[in-house]
Amino acid sequence: MNSENDRELIENCMNGDRQAIEALLFRYEKPVYNAAYRMLNSSEDARDVTQTVFLKVIEKLDSYDPQYRFFSWIYRIALNESINCLKKQNRLDALDREPVSEAKGPEEQTGAEQVSQGMQTALMTIQAEYRTVIVLKHFADCSYTEISQILDLPEKKVKSRLYTGRQLLKEALTKSGLH
Amino acid sequence: MTIEAKYVELMNADLDGEISDAERIDLAEYLEANPEAAAMQAELSDLCGSLDEMGQIDPPPHLKYAILDSLQKTAKPASERVASGGLKLRQLFAMPALRHAFTFGAGAFLTFALISSDQISDQAFDDVTGLVGTISDSVPAATGQNTIRLTSNEIAGMVSTHFAGSLNVVDFNLAAEGPVEIVAEFSNNELWFKGFAQLESDDTRILADDGQVKMHIQGRNRYALYLQHTNDVDSTVNFKFYSAGNLIHEADLIIGNETKEAE
């Protein structure tokens, strides 16, 4: 994401420019929705979270500190909202729970879809703190530094969560026979 | 043999593209000497490759319009932060995409598939091309009944009315996730279907009949329906929205006369 373009867009949004708000929404809707979907494995929840995120972003735009990149801020809100959603549904500690899935049945899926769904299901079995870094790394394409800023964690911690998360994911996949 | 923590970190950093040249050489030498570590690296690489291949999912097509609608509803009063209240069509039309759509709309006006009606007069297809432009000059709604807001899972957006010359323009700005049928009924004799213009739509089909207009939409739709109002009393148009044959929303729009609208 281009932070220069973002800055101008945010300024216009803060001045109440509706076109700027639309442009911001069009730019970030998909990344926010994807982050939420990967955290929640539910398109309905991801949709609700995306909506809440944008309402909060516009409402709290005055409190956004432009010294940070906008996408860090919006991702942080998206992940927090996703975790709130998991908490509300008592799905935060997903280990040993039956993952919520809205996927098609295996007979309706292609091979790639099955692998993708198996991966998503495995992702839901690992704790949210590990899932969060995996989502930011693999689905938002963030660097260690960016993840560190988004989650407000030292980079060292980000790395260790990522390694542990991958290890847990690998174990979950092995357990399900997919890896 | 145990894999040293330092090299586990380097393996992950390598996959994440966060490794220096010197570290890469160090890792390569280590992996060459340690088959167990090399196997772990291959597994990790496979896992990361599978994660990256999952790719991005497209949000439901109507989501952004539902969000815009929510933002509009929760917007602070104009005096607080927004110079102009509400999302005015004039502003929408200032956007390049819509401006082009507007131009297109003038040319592509009346691109409907089926129209059959006894109610339609000989003048039913009067050239209302110019009126497409008047959508941007919306007369403020006299009452709250002049707008239908939709925020359901199946369809989101707004249907509103305003006057343009002697015609009532019903402006549809909708996004539907799947096929949605809209049935507009005006069973009294004061309203006449006068035309249809498609401005920015994926696919809209329309069928006009006595006192009824049916529209089939899917995806992003922006179009206008023109109704002729023949006397001075308000008329009601009943809108029903169906998805997969199920009624998902029903609402009435009051179609007033010009004098009353201007009050």
Tell me whether A147 touches chain B (CB under 8 Å).
Answer: no
pLDDT tens per residue, chain A (179 residues)? 556 678 888 988 988 888 899 899 999 999 999 999 999 999 999 999 999 999 999 999 988 888 888 999 999 999 999 999 999 887 766 544 444 455 555 556 666 777 788 899 999 999 999 999 999 999 999 999 999 999 999 999 999 999 999 999 999 999 887 66
Question: How far A16 CA sits from the closest chain B CA (Å)?
Answer: 4
Higher per-residue pLDDT: B92 or B6: B6
Contact A33 B44 (CB under 8 A): no
Placement of tokens 């109507």 in the chain: B62
**What's the predicted TM-score (pTM) here?**
0.62
Please name the member of B47, B51, B64 whose beta carbon is closest to the beta carbon of A25: B64
Contact B67 A119 (CB under 8 A): no
Q: How far is CA B174 from CA A18, A74, A151, B203, B214, in A?
A: 18, 26, 37, 12, 15
What does the pLDDT average to over B188-196? 76
3-class SS letters over chain B: CCCCHHHHHHHHHHHCCCCCHHHHHHHHHHHHHCHHHHHHHHHHHHHHHHHHHCCCCCCCCCHHHHHHHHHHHHCCCCCCCCCCCCCCHHHHHHCHHHHHHHHHHHHHCCCCCCCCCCCCCCCCCCCCHHHHHHCCCCCCCCCHHHEEEEECCCEEEEEEEEEECCEEEEEEEEEEEEEEEEEEECCCCCEEEEEEEECCCCEEEEEEECCEEEEEEEEEEEEEEEEEECCCCCEEEEEEEEECCEEEEEEEEEECCHHHHCC
Judging contacts by C-beta atoms under 8 Å, the chain A residues touching residue B70 are: 51, 54-55
Higher per-residue pLDDT: B189 or B134: B189
Contact B95 A19 (CB under 8 A): yes
Mean pLDDT of chain B: 71
Question: How far B224 CA sits from the closest chain A CA (Å)?
Answer: 22
Please name the member of B13, B51, B59 whose beta carbon is closest to the beta carbon of A30: B59
pLDDT band at B225 (very low <50, low <70, confident <90, very high): confident
pLDDT band at B107 (very low <50, low <70, confident <90, very high): very low
What does the pLDDT average to over B122-130? 33
Contact A19 B91 (CB under 8 A): yes
pLDDT at residue B208, as a whole number: 81
pLDDT single digits (tens) B239-259: 999 998 889 999 988 877 543
Q: What's the complex ipTM?
A: 0.86
pLDDT band at B10 (very low <50, low <70, confident <90, very high): very high
Tell me whether A56 touches chain B (CB under 8 Å).
Answer: no
Which chain A residue has the Cα nearest residue B76? A59
Residues of B within an 8 Å Cβ radius of A: 8-9, 12-13, 16, 18, 43-44, 46-48, 50-54, 56-60, 63-64, 66-68, 70-71, 74, 81-84, 87-88, 91, 94-95, 153
pLDDT band at B187 (very low <50, low <70, confident <90, very high): confident
pLDDT at residue B221, as a whole number: 77
Judging contacts by C-beta atoms under 8 Å, the chain A residues touching residue B93 are: none
pLDDT band at B216 (very low <50, low <70, confident <90, very high): confident
Contact A54 B67 (CB under 8 A): yes
Contact A120 B54 (CB under 8 A): yes
Select from A155, A13, A162, A84 the least CA-distant residue to A76. A84
What does the pLDDT average to over B174-196? 82
Question: How far A101 CA sits from the closest chain B CA (Å)?
Answer: 15
Higher per-residue pLDDT: B229 or B27: B27
Contact A30 B9 (CB under 8 A): no
